[in-house]
């Protein structure tokens, strides 16, 4: 997957403006809360992007998990944005469309991404993490799952 030539989504455009403002503040010496503020800006992007994609999302229940530095609200200026798209059942064929719709606008902004797409069954075979370190979760629709929520 490469970068698309399409115009950025409004959610991506808003993230680009907000990220530029944060970087300018950092260059001017205001680093107070920068990692959490940048992480929160990316959170807003995903919430807005899900709203933009309403009605086009896969019918299969899924959630988006922020992992790594992003999941810890510790994004630095050149951090990659690590995410996991987790489906409650098997990964549907339309998962690639979802990944493109969520992540291509970020690539178009020049951001680095680390992403994975897994089923819950596959993810549950991973070594058990400390529940206090679980990342935040957004579900675009109802899915009876309880995960630790970011407290920003």
Average pLDDT, the chain: 81
Domain annotation covers residue 150: no
Domain-embedded: residue 90: yes
Per the domain annotation, does 4 fall within a domain? no
pTM score of the predicted model: 0.79
Give the DSSP per-residue string, the chain.
-----SPPPHHHHHHHHHHHHHHHHHHTT--TTHHHHHHHHHHHHHHHHHHHTTTSS-SS-EEEEEEHHHHTT---TT--EEEEEEESSSPPTTHHHHHHHHHHHHHHTT--EEEEEEEHHHHHTSPPPPGGGPPPEE-SS------PPP--
Task: Identify whether 79 is part of a domain.
Answer: yes
125 CB contacts (<8 Å, ≥6 apart)? none
CATH of the domain at 69: 3.30.460
**Residue 144 placed within a domain:** no
Given a cut of 90, whether residue 17 has pLDDT beyond it is yes
Residue 43 placed within a domain: yes
Within a domain: 55:
yes
* Average pLDDT over every residue of 103-132: 81
| pLDDT digits 0-9 by tens, 51-63 | 999 888 888 888 8
Percent of the chain clearing pLDDT 90 (strictly above): 51
Burial 46-61 (b: 16+ CB within 10 A, else e): bebbbeebeeebbebb
Please give the residue range of the domain that contains residue 78: 10-138
Query: Is position 147 within any domain?
Result: no
Which two tokens mark 83? 């995410």
Q: How many domains does the chain have?
A: 1
């Amino acid at each position: 997957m490469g970068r698309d030539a399409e115009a950025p989504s409004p959610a991506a455009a808003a993230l680009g403006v907000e990220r530029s403002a944060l970087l300018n503040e950092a260059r001017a010496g205001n680093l107070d809360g920068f990692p959490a503020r940048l992480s929160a800006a990316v959170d807003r992007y995903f919430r807005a992007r899900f709203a933009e994609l309403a009605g086009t999302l896969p019918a299969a229940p899924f959630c988006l998990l922020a992992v790594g530095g992003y999941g810890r609200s510790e994004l630095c200026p050149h951090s990659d944005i690590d995410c996991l798209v987790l489906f409650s059942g098997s990964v549907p064929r339309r998962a690639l469309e979802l990944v493109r719709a969520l992540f291509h606008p970020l690539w178009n902004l020049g951001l680095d991404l680390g992403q994975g797409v897994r089923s819950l069954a596959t993810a549950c075979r991973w070594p058990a993490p400390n529940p206090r370190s679980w990342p935040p979760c957004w579900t675009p629709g109802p899915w009876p799952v309880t995960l630790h929520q970011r407290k920003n």
